[in-house]
Amino acid sequence: MTKPELRKQCKERSLYGTPQCNDKLYLHYKGYRRIENLDEYTALKVIWLEGNGFQKIEGLEQQLQLRTLYLQENLIERIEGLSHLAQLDSVNLAQNNIRRIENIGNLPQLQSLHLKNNHLKTADDVRLVLSCPSISTLDLQHNKIADAAVLDIVAQMPNLRVLYLQGNEVVKHIKHYRKTVISRCKQLRYLDDRPVFEEERLRCEAWARAVAAGKTPQEALDVERAEIDRQQAAKRARELENSRAFEQMVRRAHQKAALLKQNEASTLLDENLNIFSGERIVPSRESVPSRRAREARWARIVNDEENCDPVFADLEEGPEVEQTEEEKRIYELCRTVGSSDGAASRARREQAAVEAAARGPKPTAAAVAAAHSDAQPPPLAPARSKAPAAAPEPPSIFEVGVVRKAEPVPAASGEEFTDMEELD
């Protein structure tokens, strides 16, 4: 682990060439024998050192910001050289030669300690794990632990959430291993190969209470089964309650939809309501002349004006009632609605009818054609030849200053006019 070698590894991993700028370092499976020359890498937060030949944890004095340290698959025999790493969160020392847990009391933020496939044997080899109460994950699987007292140690860990003990002889020596460990470790959420759910915890605690009360194994098993039945009954009750709540919700939705549909139908059937705005229509009585004028006007609009024949089938004729001034005004408005100026247009139409009657009937197209065929075209007048006008003679010296009168324009009849005499 020379400095040039470290710079070479940084270059191969596309890291920074300046050691102080790197917060991670990949040095795994390189065959190094010692951890050294890392003084310049002061900003490291994670370092991979697994798969080498290290026998001792050293050379990490300047890595005060280190969070994660991977040292698995080496030849390390002791846990040491980590007391100054106050921010260390996770240490992986699996597949080493460690025989005892020690020197972790000065790691206040340590959460995970992995010691899989080491040489731990007795409860005393594990006891110092209590010096670090922040540990929540402890991996002790596939060691050589055969002392059942190790269960008393892990049961005292206040924040233990994940525990791996499988692969040790102690698993065979603890009767009802899983129930016992779960009932003893109150905060445990994962044991060996599967998680610990709340239902399982309640069953294990009920079983443990029966055993602690001195009941026989069969009686403890009956208590556990009773707890299972209670949980199933509670689950069915919750499901039934949820089903009823869902049915009530669906029923209320159907009732609301039916009520809305009924209100909509009643609104549409009510003739006194406007179907567009929903406002109530104010009732009003239409007089007979006004209705007749309106229907006549509508017939002229939708039908031919000359052939219109408005139908008053539903009109009940009553006695003639003298109209008021207001009714006459409304009648006149209804009769002339749509015209440009009402009374004036009517007067013009009447005047046009009188003039047409005075002129007589309009001649037909056949009569006009016959009159044109009988008429003879007038004879054409012979063309007159006009001699070309002679060029005027230039004025003499005696005629300078004499004013000539403008020549008159020839008349439309074709008569010729001579120039007038010159004025003196």
The phi, psi pair for 280, rounded to 5°, reads -75, 135
pLDDT of residue 144: 93
Residue 14 and residue 36 in contact, taking contact as beta carbons nearer than 8 Å: no
Q: Distance between CA 375 and CA 84 in Å, rounded?
A: 136
**Which residue reads 């009823």 in tokens?**
244
pLDDT of residue 191: 94
Question: If you compute the radius of gyration of the chain from its CA atoms, what whole number of angstroms results?
Answer: 60
pTM for the predicted model, two decimal places: 0.60
DSSP state of 212: H
**Which residue reads 């139409």 in tokens?**
349
Our CA dihedral for 233, 238, 242, 244, rounded to 10 degrees, sits at 50
Number of helices (H), then strands (E), belonging to the chain: the values are: 11, 9
Reference 92, options 147, 47, 149, 146; nearest CA is 47
Residue 36 and residue 15 in contact, taking contact as beta carbons nearer than 8 Å: no
Q: In angstroms, what CA-CA distances link 126 with 100, 145, 226?
A: 7, 9, 37
pLDDT of residue 398: 41
Q: Distance between CA 238 and CA 104 in Å, rounded?
A: 47
pLDDT digits (tens, 9 = 90+) for 378-388: 554 444 444 44
pLDDT of residue 298: 84
pLDDT of residue 295: 85
pLDDT of residue 401: 43
- The strand pairing partners of 392, in sequence order, are none
Q: Distance between CA 271 and CA 177 in Å, rounded?
A: 82
Q: Distance between CA 93 and CA 72 in Å, rounded?
A: 5
Instruction: Give every residue of the chain whose pLDDT is below 50, as ranges.
Output: 307, 309-316, 375-376, 380-391, 395-424
Find the helix packing angle between 288-302 and 325-335, rounded to 10°: 0
Q: Distance between CA 151 and CA 33 in Å, rounded?
A: 37
DSSP state of 119: -
How many residues in the chain?
A: 424
DSSP result, 302-369: HS-TTT-----TT-------PPPHHHHHHHHHHHTTTSSSTHHHHHHHHHHHHHHHHH-SPPPHHHHH
DSSP result, 7-71: HHHHHHTT--SSGGG-SEEE--SS--SS----TT-TT-SEEE--SS---S--S-TT-TT--EEE-
Q: Distance between CA 106 and CA 132 in Å, rounded?
A: 8
Residue 49 and residue 68 in contact, taking contact as beta carbons nearer than 8 Å: no
Q: Which residues contact 88 (CB under 8 A, 6 or more apart)?
A: 66, 67, 68, 69, 82, 107, 109, 110
pLDDT of residue 369: 56
Contacts within 8 Å (CB) and 24+ apart, 65-69: 65/23
- Encoding tokens for residue 8? 């070479």
pLDDT of residue 419: 46
Q: Distance between CA 149 and CA 260 in Å, rounded?
A: 72
Residue 93 and residue 72 in contact, taking contact as beta carbons nearer than 8 Å: yes
pLDDT of residue 187: 93
